[in-house]
Amino acid sequence: MSPAPSDVVVVGIGADGWDGLSPAAQQAVSRSRVLMGSRRQLDLVPGEFERVAWPSPLVPALPELFEKYRDVCVLASGDPMFHGIGTTLVRLLGERVTVIPHPSSVSLACARLGWALNEVEVVSLVARSIDLLRPVLTPGRRVLVLGGDPAAVAEVVGADGQIVVLEQLGGSAERVYPWSGQDSDPLCVIAVEYRGSALSRVPGLPDDAYESDGQLTKREVRAISLSRLAPLPGQLLWDVGSGSGSIAIEWARTHPTCRVIAIEQSAERAERIAGNAASLGVPGVEVHIGRAPDALEGLEKPDAIFVGGGVTVPGVMQACWDALASGGRLVVNAVTLESEAVVAQWYARLGGDLVRIAVNRGSAVGKFTGWRPHMPVTTWSVTK
């Protein structure tokens, strides 16, 4: 028998507990038979229920829990659809779920600080790396950090920012104070106003933004290559022969939902890619150590592929082309005659665009200035 629609109501609750719920939310809670949530949340609600505290780890346990229980009220903090359990439950249970939101901690923080909610950047660090904070720290930008530790945030922000901690928002123990090293309640939002310098998200970062052994696509060529790869939010790139990881990293920096798998045969370089990704604020770059084409087998199919190494290795180009879905973009950079010959064959077969990039950088020649040429790069791009 299929379950009755909407037998799971997800109710947002704040630090003000039961008294802070709207009459509609209180009624929805009272009509339920089973109450689920964290221990702390379960204690906020009076009445007779079967109370089920979240197990750990939570997500893998959810299907069984909701198979077993019906007429459930799930307590979630703030707005359940904002970095909350509501989204996970809707994905899992579909129409069984009704959501009743409460103001999120971010709305409350903006109210206390007098900040426009639509202008702040929000970063959730719940079970995620502190490095994610790096790309959002730009001059004058206001940032709210969820699930963070003020000391760790202060270390990333450095001397060029001000940090305000907002604890227990909406509850009787609410406290808002400029942070200067004191212990804080873990239930807090951290507000950051940053005044320091920052790197743009537009591709073509300075070469010295990367640790490298010289295997680095240079700034100007990188910018052109990324414009051909044309990253869009949510899309996945394979960076084949990732070297120092610059293409992978700049793809990921264009939007927080962009994903990358960097494939690199050298373990030493792979480690460097991970280090560069962390310091440039995209720790989610997935690094696979291995040699293409074998290393490409079984990977999630990408929306775009960049081949910066291994062009002449038999099977690499074919494996990349085969992996792309219709509409996917393939961009290949060739520097040697041998890799150009492979590119020429593929261009003859599939068409696309060929661009030859000859970069000359001005630099000192004695007390004058002259042009120093880089090796020309042939960029072939094609859409499947």
Ligand X SMILES: C[S@@+](CC[C@H](N)C(=O)[O-])C[C@H]1O[C@@H](n2cnc3c(N)ncnc32)[C@H](O)[C@@H]1O
Distance of CA 236 to the CA centre of its chain: 12
Cα torsion at 155, 158, 159, 160 (round to 10°)?
-140
Give residue number: closest CB to ligand X: 309
Looking at the Cβ atoms of 253 and 269, the one nearer to ligand X is 269
Q: How far is the CB of 209 from ligand X (least distance, A)?
A: 11
Q: How far is the CB of 324 from ligand X (least distance, A)?
A: 17
Q: How far is the CB of 318 from ligand X (least distance, A)?
A: 13
Looking at the Cβ atoms of 146 and 226, the one nearer to ligand X is 226
Q: How far is the CB of 218 from ligand X (least distance, A)?
A: 8
Looking at the Cβ atoms of 135 and 245, the one nearer to ligand X is 245
**What does the binding site for ligand X look like in residue numbers (CB under 6 A)?**
215-217, 241-247, 263-266, 269, 291-292, 308-310, 313, 316
Q: How far is the CB of 210 from ligand X (least distance, A)?
A: 7
Report the 3 state secondary structure along the chain: CCCCCCCEEEEEECCCHHHHCCHHHHHHHHHCCEEEECHHHHCCCCCCCEEEECCCCCHHHHHHHHHHCCCEEEEEECCCCCCCHHHHHHHHHHHHEEEECCCCHHHHHHHHHCCCHHHCEEEECCCCCHHHHHHHCCCCCEEEEECCCHHHHHHHHHHHEEEEEEECCCCCCCEEEECCCCCCCCCEEEEEEECCCCCCCCCCCCHHHCCCCCCCCCHHHHHHHHHHHCCCCCCEEEEECCCCCHHHHHHHHCCCCCEEEEEECCHHHHHHHHHHHHHCCCCCCEEEECCCCHHHCCCCCCCEEEECCCCCCCCHHHHHHHHCCCCCEEEEEECCHHHHHHHHHHHHHHCCEEEEECCEEEEEECCEEEEEECCCEEEEEEEC
Q: How far is the CB of 138 from ligand X (least distance, A)?
A: 24
Looking at the Cβ atoms of 78 and 309, the one nearer to ligand X is 309
Looking at the Cβ atoms of 145 and 292, the one nearer to ligand X is 292
Looking at the Cβ atoms of 14 and 245, the one nearer to ligand X is 245
Looking at the Cβ atoms of 106 and 292, the one nearer to ligand X is 292
Q: How far is the CB of 288 from ligand X (least distance, A)?
A: 9
Looking at the Cβ atoms of 26 and 227, the one nearer to ligand X is 227
Q: How far is the CB of 339 from ligand X (least distance, A)?
A: 10
